[in-house]
Chain A
Amino acid sequence: MKSVLKATSVSLASIVVLTSLAACGGNSSNNTASPSATAGASAGASAGASDAAAQVYPENGLPKDEKVKLKVGFFEGGMGREWFDTALASFKEKFPNVSFDVTYSPTISQVTQTKIAANDDKDMFDLFSGSIPGGIASYVEAGKLESEEDLWDHKAYDGSGKTLKEVSFEGSFDSSPRTKGNTYAFPISASGSGLMYNKALFEKNGWNENPKTWSEFMKLCEDIKAAGLYPITFPGVYPDYITNAFGQPKVYELAEESGTLDKVFEDYHKFNLPYFLAPENLERWNRIYDMGKKGYFPSGLAALNHTQSQMQVVQGKAAMVATGTWVENEMKQSTPEGFKWGYMTVPMAEKPDNTKWITFTPGSGFLIWAAKPDLNKKWSKEFIAWLWNLDNQLQIAEKGGMIPLRADFADDASRLAKLQSLPSAFLAYMKDNKVKMDSGAADVTLTDPAFEQANKVMSESITQIATGKQDPQPKLQEAENYLKKAIEAQGK
């Protein structure tokens, strides 16, 4: 009995050790194996040529009889997941050979990053939202991500033969973020940035909800301040949030007024110097500094997180918050019944008819991992195109609180009425004003640490400038010096 026990325990222990070693060492062999048990094998196999036509979907030419399982990493953020689950269900119903294995997480980018670090393409997601910490530029450079630029020419499933580019909302194609000239996270919705406010409070006080010039805007801030509220707040713990109201498009707005738009636009897209010290940029920061000195931002700004700053607006301590149109969905649990958000952008020019430049970000897209089997990648793209169906766009707008990207969305009044108050206010603002949109993204990617340091200089200065404690000029100079270093290092 004793020897049996001994033999059993030794065998068990050996199994434990061997399996541990196998687990540790199995990675490389897995990588060389066929990519996917389900789709990989099917991707490699070719269907018979004769009955191929009968075996493919007429909508996209993909095989009906080859089962594909897509691994999806889903960012469960402010948009929630209801819209996604609905789209998933209708896609599976339409294409029953495609199934999904979805990982939902509010921190999906960390899961994605861990999977990337594990260097196991088989285990990696086929498509994933939430991007990758640090940006996608280096992954694009390394060929790890699939370009989705061709999706712009993909015919919309319900677009009467029109391509996604043709059915898209004006400005979506141009302002979509691109890396090395290609779209990598094909947008499925959009968000607009600016100042969001409590509409009822503005109406009650008779405050100007659509200031057309900088002077009118300053008058509005003065009125608000006189009423005992902070005119503008934002989460100073994440100081870059100020760019939602005073972002790069505002530099273009100032440039347009001074007649230097083309040059500034080119310089900002290509990181031509002077960048931080460009006169229009200096003017932008000086205006923020002046506002800071007048006490238009809360003094404890630097300690505010998203919830605290947004709650200041909900509770009537501040009038406007610099954020995006997603805030309505984000705060829906904390806003009282019937709370209506209003939208405005900061007018930088003095002529009322001048263009208002707005940060408009087509986004919420899914990245596709390039090392996946071709069939998986094709189905991934089909799923992204599926999300452009009007039904799904409605779900994205209604449940996710985002701005739809389909221009024909507004054709149906009942559909339009289902938009949440903020996307609706955003669209109304665009209708009532001369507006141009830009994502603020550059065409060039800088990878030297000096670039991170340049951004750090500005990022650390923002709350100090906005509270009137720091003159922006020396900080802009410091940032410019770092940027120069980064550009030189890149050119080596």
Chain B
Amino acid sequence: MTTLRSDRDRNGQKRSSVLQKANVQKWIFLAFAVVPTFGGYLLFALYPNVLSIYYSLLDWNGITKPKFIYFENYVRLFKDHYVWRALGHNLFYMATVPICVILISLVLSYLLTNKGYKGTPVFKVLFFFPNVLSTVVVSLLWAFIYDGSFGLLNAFLKLFGIDMDGFYWLGDTRTALYAVLPPYVWAGVGLYIVIFMNAMTTIPKSLYESAILEGAGHMTRLFRITIPLITPLIRVSAIFLVLGTLKSLDLVLILTRGGPAGSTDVIGLYMFNMAFGEQVQNYGYASAIGMFLFVILVGAKLIVDKLLPDRGYEY
């Protein structure tokens, strides 16, 4: 009896120590899994962003003694027509780039998934190719395409009898804003084709087979089966694209530097120039623009949420 109890006690102690150990190990694992990433996020994302709120209240160039000026930078910002002009360009890209990218990606991925082309894997690589190129390469490539003297676009138009020789698409205020659009789309489509293709392959074939039996064509299948079933993914893609387009400045910086005559200036570029300008550096004002951009980004996210409801279908 005594032996039995002591055995049970020993077993109990052993079990509790094993459990305790497992518990400690679990916490150690969690700490290792979470602390570096969360710490990194705190240090390199949250902390500088929170600090930017403070900076936006300063007259400060990053070197000299900061001067607290309350909301003066924000007052200046709302009166600054360059901010509104740049924001207008951003809104144009926000309204066009995601739609173009998503539509083209959807159509191409539907064709590549359902048409059973022999060269599908090759097309997939070709379409994805711009994504492995740096923005600098993409920009220079398109600068060459748009070149007035030796550009591909003018040469192509000439084939159809349209002589645009000497016309620089990026050098004219009437065309520059629109000319920046194709590079954005071209560089963005590939990634979403891959994402959408993977999502489309998970849709059961039986759904398409029944639709075909009922006489549904490609367009019906695309809009009635494919798109509704991958809506959650389209929604996420739209959010990424909208936010990415609002924030981006690299392509514009290299292609046009906001010109000609500010016709392609975007808010990120304006903020960048205010922070690291050729004549003046004003981190305070640039931070205020950054905060304003943050509010716009949150607003844009909420609008996308509203426009594309988060509904999914189980299949």
Contacts and interface: CB of A to CB of B under 8 A. Distances in A.
Contact of A452 (B32, B172, B282): B282
B274 interface: yes
B61 A300 contact: no
A354 interface: no
| Dominant secondary structure of chain A at its interface with chain B | helix
Contact of A138 (B168, B257, B278, B281): B281
Size class of B's contact patch? 35 or more
A464 interface: yes
B261 A449 contact: no
Contacts of A312: 149
B166 interface: yes
B135 to A, nearest CB: 15
Contacts of B171: 236, 299-304, 463
B143 interface: yes
A206 interface: no
Contact of A461 (B148, B166, B261): B261
B280 A141 contact: no
B261 A303 contact: no
A10 B146 CA distance: 58
Interface string B244-287: 00000000000011111110000000000110111111100100
Interface string A293-317: 0000011111111001000100001
B55 interface: no
B256 A237 contact: yes
Given A317-B149, A447-B61, A447-B280, A238 B257 contact: yes
Contact of A24 (B35, B43, B262, B276): B43
Interface string A216-245: 000000000000000000001111100000
Interface in B164-199: 166-173, 176
A455 interface: yes
A144 interface: yes
14 contacts: A135-B281, A138-B61, A138-B63, A138-B64, A237-B259, A303-B172, A312-B149, A447-B61, A448-B282, A449-B76, A453-B82, A456-B82, A456-B273, A463-B260
Closest 7 CB pairs of A and B: A300-B168, A303-B171, A302-B260, A134-B281, A300-B171, A303-B168, A303-B170
Given A138-B63, A299-B172, A300-B148, 6 more contacts: A138-B62, A141-B64, A240-B278, A302-B168, A303-B147, A303-B171
Interface of A: 10, 13, 17, 20, 24, 113, 117, 133-135, 138-139, 141-142, 144, 236-240, 298-305, 308, 312, 317, 446-449, 451-453, 455-456, 460-461, 463-464, 470
Interface of B: 28, 32, 35-36, 43, 61-64, 76, 80, 82, 143, 146-149, 166-173, 176, 256-262, 273-274, 276-282, 285
